[in-house]
């Protein structure tokens, strides 16, 4: 009988709690051995809801436990890289939510520690594991639409986050668009040559007080000469708007929004359907489960995760390129030694 993988979750915010639930309810072969959070109320809530052997407010306790094979880092962004380095040095495999860090040199230090330790690292770009997006990528790779010419990604939140979050987020390009930057590279398995970003505050003028925007458009060119566009908004009043389109010489692939039901009502003057699901936890529930299954399989079968540290770094590189482009009003070329 195959041995269960013992894991610890560090950070019990919204994403941490989601992973805890999925590990218990949805993913066989993984045993949640310990959790850690600096907020006592979060620890108490989790310990009452789940039977977890180790519940501590110091994550280092989890790293010191030999029986723990891997850790899932869901703490605040500023702690990701330091914890990753310590976890690697402790010989733990690592799943880390995005971004690894907002400083590229800090990312490099963390990735160097992972490489030196020889442990597995997977970055939490969950959209790669969405069944519809995975099928779209497979169709591109199998030549269903010929040579790709245009990629369009729409990503709009139902409501902006609190201003207290905005001021520490790193800005829309490093917080929100970072997922789309990863999808850009994932969908065509191709690097981006250059991009240009424009935008404004059209949802909440107070966001501009933190040198940020809430509405953005990014135009980009792949190295193979295909073009693409990302459009972002912090507020889509009808729900969580997540769509992609890949147009090629032989056809077009579209992935629409996820809606609660497929029921359509046709009337004399209009047709109606459900609005898109409201939040990312609903839209990407399957993706969160699939990414954790992949992480477990990679460790058990000694495989390299399909979304690695370099992918995590390149999304941040593209985020900084977008910030520079927005500031200077021109295209900015992309390379992994920038900024």
Interaxial angle between packed helices 131-141 and 177-188, expressed in degrees from 0 to 180 and rounded to the nearest 10: 40
Nearest C-alpha neighbor of 276 from the set 254, 255, 260: 260
Q: What are phi and psi of 133, to 5 degrees?
A: -70, -35
| 217 lies in the same domain as 275 | yes
Considering the domain architecture, whether residues 133 and 249 belong to the same structural domain is answered as yes
For 153, residues 6+ apart whose C-beta sits below 8 A from its C-beta are 180, 183, 184, 228, 229, 230, 231, 243, 244
How high is the pLDDT of residue 105? 96
Residue 72 lies in a domain: yes
Do 272 and 224 belong together in one domain? yes
Helix (H) or strand (E) holding 82: helix 77-89
Residue 96 falls within a domain, yes or no? yes
pLDDT by residue (tens digit) across 28-85? 889 999 999 999 888 888 988 998 999 999 999 999 999 999 999 999 999 999 999 9
Q: Which of 73, 101, 119 is the last residue of a domain?
A: 119
256 phi/psi in degrees, rounded to 5: -90, -175
CATH of the domain at 109: 3.40.50.720
- My answer on whether 29 and 112 are in the same domain is yes
In this predicted structure, what is the pLDDT of residue 227? 98
Three-state SS for 225-286 is CCEEEEEEECCCCCCCEEEEEEEECCEEEEECCCCCCCCEEECCCCEEECCCCCCHHHHCHH
The answer to whether residues 135 and 280 belong to one domain is yes
pLDDT in tens, 3-33: 889 999 999 999 999 999 999 989 988 999 9
* 101 falls within a domain: yes
Cα–Cα–Cα angle for 301, 302, 305, rounded to 5 degrees: 100
Q: Which of 101, 119, 137 is the last residue of a domain?
A: 119
Burial category of 187 from C-beta neighbours within 10 Å (exposed 0-12, middle 13-18, buried 19 and up): buried
Check whether residue 97 and residue 135 sit in a common domain.
Answer: no
Please say whether the beta carbons of 159 and 289 come within 8 A: no
Place of tokens 């369009």: 152
Q: Are 215 and 174 in contact (CB under 8 A)?
A: no
Asked if 65 and 179 sit in the same domain, the reply is: no
* 245 and 322 inside one domain: yes
Same domain, 100 and 191: no
| Amino acid 271: pLDDT | 93
**Is 228 found in the same domain as 100?**
no
Tens of pLDDT, residues 245-269: 999 999 999 999 999 999 999 999 9
Query: Are residue 240 and residue 276 in the same domain, yes or no?
Result: yes
The answer to whether the predicted template modeling score (pTM) of the entire model surpasses 0.85 is: yes
β-pair type (30-36, 54-56)? parallel
Report the number of distinct structural domains present in the chain. Answer: 2
Domain containing 107 equals 5-119
Based on the fold, state whether residues 108 and 147 are members of the same structural domain. Answer: no
pLDDT for the residue numbered 16: 96
Task: Report the CATH number that the domain containing residue 154 is assigned in CATH.
Answer: 3.30.360.10
Q: What SS3 state is found at 90?
A: coil
pLDDT reported for residue 4: 87
Residue 142 has pLDDT above 90, yes or no: yes
Q: How much is the average pLDDT of 323-327? A: 97
* Domain end call among 86, 119, 152: 119
């Amino acid at each position: 009988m195959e041995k269960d993988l013992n894991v610890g979750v560090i950070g019990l915010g919204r994403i941490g709690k989601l992973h805890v639930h999925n590990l218990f309810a949805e993913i066989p072969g993984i045993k949640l051995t310990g959790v850690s959070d600096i907020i006592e109320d979060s620890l108490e809530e989790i310990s009452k809801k789940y039977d977890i052997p180790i519940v501590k407010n110091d994550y280092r306790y989890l790293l010191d436990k030999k029986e723990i094979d891997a850790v899932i880092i869901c703490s605040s962004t500023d702690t990701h890289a330091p914890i990753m380095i310590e976890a690697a040095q402790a010989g733990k495999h690592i799943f880390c939510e995005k971004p690894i860090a907002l400083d590229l040199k800090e990312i490099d230090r963390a990735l160097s520690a992972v490489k030196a330790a020889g442990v597995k690292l997977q970055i939490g770009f969950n959209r790669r594991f969405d069944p519809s997006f995975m099928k779209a990528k497979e169709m591109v790779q199998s030549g269903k639409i010929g040579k790709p010419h245009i990629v369009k990604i729409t990503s709009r939140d139902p409501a902006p986050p609190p201003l207290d979050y905005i001021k520490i987020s790193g800005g829309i390009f490093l917080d929100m668009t970072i997922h789309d930057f990863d999808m850009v590279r994932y969908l065509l398995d191709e690097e981006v040559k250059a991009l240009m970003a424009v935008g404004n505050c059209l949802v909440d003028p107070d966001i501009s007080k933190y040198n940020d925007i809430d509405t953005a458009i990014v135009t980009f060119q792949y190295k193979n000469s295909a073009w693409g566009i990302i459009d972002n908004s912090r507020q889509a009043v009808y729900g969580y708007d997540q769509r992609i389109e890949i147009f090629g010489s032989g056809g077009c692939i579209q992935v629409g929004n996820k809606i609660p039901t497929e029921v359509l009502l046709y009337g004399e003057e209009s047709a109606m359907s459900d609005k898109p699901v409201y939040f990312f936890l609903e839209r990407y529930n399957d993706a969160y489960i699939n990414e954790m299954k992949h992480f477990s399989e990679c460790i058990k079968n000694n495989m390299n995760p399909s979304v690695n540290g370099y992918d995590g770094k390149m999304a941040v590189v593209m985020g900084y390129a977008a910030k520079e482009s927005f500031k200077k009003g021109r295209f900015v070329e992309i390379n992994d030694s920038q900024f």
